[in-house]
Amino acid sequence: MRKDVRILLVGEPGVGKTSLILSLVSEEFPVEVPAKAEEITIPADVTPEKVPTHIVDFSSQEQEDSQLVEEIIKAHVICTVYAVDDEESIQKIKTYWLPLIRQVMPDDNSRPVILVGNKSDILEVSSMETILPIMNEYAEVETCVECSAKTLKNISEVFYYAQKAVLHPTAPLYLPEEKE
């Protein structure tokens, strides 16, 4: 069994990656957030799976693309974050983030991905209808979850699902058609 879990958060600027991390750690919504959260380690005894868990933020404001590639390689699971009220941030999951992760980690070495829809406090309607086709297209997407860093709804679940995807990976429900 793995002795630790490394979770990376990526996604468009402003979707709330840093807020999610700080909300998890402090159990309250941070009014002011830095561009990037420092890497944090959650000790084994306070994680659901009893494994030390590193949580890593990525900020395109402060970091280069080469660092992004490096972090993707080092991560065991990647939380790809969008904001439920920001259609463009959802489209970028499909057009940028998932293809990039695939390009960095080809087939036999893929990383599980969790799709995280933040800011669920803003919208009453769910983004799941838009997200499901993306899940179906990318077998590496393990789960999707809507949450709010502001109300703390589903915040601990996000990190629990991420941990679980590494420690107890599930086989895809169906295999995509064999490539030619």
- The answer to whether the beta carbons of residues 68 and 58 sit under 8 Å apart is yes
Q: Is 26 in the site for ligand GTP (CB under 6 A)?
A: no
What minimum distance in Å lies between the beta carbon of 40 and ligand GTP?
Answer: 14
Q: Which of 27, 28, 35, 126 binds ligand GTP (CB under 6 A)?
A: 35
| Minimum distance of ligand GTP from residue 149's CB (angstroms) | 4
- Taking residue 18's Cβ as centre, other Cβ atoms within 10 Å add up to 20
CA distances to 126, 131, 170 from 69, in Å? 31, 24, 25
Closest CA to 176 of 144, 136, 143, 132: 136
Any idea what the Cα angle at residue 23 is, between residues 142 and 36, rounded to 5°? Answer: 85
Query: Shortest distance, CB of residue 99 to ligand GTP, whole angstroms?
Result: 19
Identify the bridge partners of residue 81 per DSSP, sorted by sequence position: 11, 116
Member of 55, 93, 145, 149 binding ligand GTP (CB under 6 A): 149
148 touches ligand GTP by CB under 6 A = yes
Give yes or no for residue 80 binding ligand GTP (CB under 6 A): no
Q: Which of 150, 158, 162, 163 lies at the binding interface for ligand GTP (CB under 6 A)?
A: 150
Positive or negative, the CA dihedral 140, 142, 143, 148 is: negative
- Give me the least distance between CB of 18 and ligand GTP, in Å please: 3
Contact between 116 and ligand GTP per CB under 6 A: no
Stretch that binds ligand GTP, among 46-54, 95-103, 128-136, 144-152 (CB under 6 A): 144-152
In angstroms, what CA-CA distances link 144 with 39, 60, 79, 117, 118?
23, 23, 9, 8, 11
Q: Which residues bind ligand GTP (CB under 6 A)?
A: 13-19, 33, 35, 59, 61, 118-119, 121-122, 148-150
